Amino acid sequence: MFPFKIDESHPFVPVTFAVLAVSDTRTLETDTSGALLTELIEGCGHRVFERAVVRDDREAIAAQVKAWVAQEGIDVVLTTGGTGFSGRDVTPEAIEPLFTKRMDGFSVLFHQYSATTIGTSTIQSRATAGLIGTTFVFCLPGSRGACRDAWEAILKYQFDSRHVPCNFIEVMPRLNE
């Protein structure tokens, strides 16, 4: 759906991710969305520093994300789950106050692409993204399909240093300016 171009003359630069599943019912062993994201990330040549699962609790979610943001070498945090409208879905409430910069375009593109796969049901997600200091943070829905959509349509290209006309890799050295 979205046009993209990979310039093979540029070198590939791997980055390091952390993947957090937010769920009251999943464990690391049963977290299929986090496992899928790890597979997709590593399949593109990036590294996954760590995976974890925390319950649907604002403080627990924020604490894990803050710990990873403070960890030197983690460039990107992906969360999966807790972006819906049930009473227990609190990931955006836990993470958005931590953003130093919001990335409104991610939600827009995610919903545009998601609508091509699940139609109007995309409005049931509050997917969001932003920067916390110099760490990119993306809050994705908990379904494997939504995680695949976010990675395949958006994230895999923005975290590919060969993607033109621009990508997140080339801006990363300037995030501290």
Task: Give a three-class secondary structure readout of the chain.
Answer: CCCCEECCCCCCCCCEEEEEEECCCCCCCCCHHHHHHHHHHHHCCCEEEEEEEECCCHHHHHHHHHHHHHCCCCCEEEEECCCCCCCCCCHHHHHHHHCCEECHHHHHHHHHHHHHHHHHHHHHCCCEEEEECCEEEEEECCCHHHHHHHHHHHHHHHCCCCEECCCHHHHHHHCCC
Q: How many CB atoms lie within 10 A of CB 69?
A: 18
For residue range 102-139, list pLDDT tens digits in order.
Answer: 999 999 999 999 999 999 999 999 999 999 999 999 99
pLDDT of residue 1: 62
pLDDT of residue 95: 98
CA distance 162 to 19: 23
For residue range 158-169, list pLDDT tens digits in order.
Answer: 999 999 999 999
pLDDT: is 137 or 2 the higher one?
137
Q: Where are the domains of the chain?
A: 9-172
27: pLDDT strictly greater than 80: yes
pLDDT of residue 33: 98
**Chain position carrying tokens 């995030």:** 175
Residue-averaged pLDDT of the chain: 96
CA distance 22 to 82: 6
CA distance 78 to 135: 11
pLDDT of residue 3: 74
One of 2.60.40.1120, 3.40.980.10, 3.30.390.10, 1.10.10.10 is the CATH number of 9-172, namely: 3.40.980.10
For residue range 36-69, list pLDDT tens digits in order.
Answer: 999 999 999 999 999 999 999 999 999 999 999 9
What is the arithmetic mean of pLDDT over 1-30? 93
86: pLDDT strictly greater than 80: yes
What is the arithmetic mean of pLDDT over 95-102? 98
Closest C-alpha among 137, 24, 115 to residue 70: 137
pLDDT of residue 4: 80
One-letter amino acid for residue 1 of the chain: M
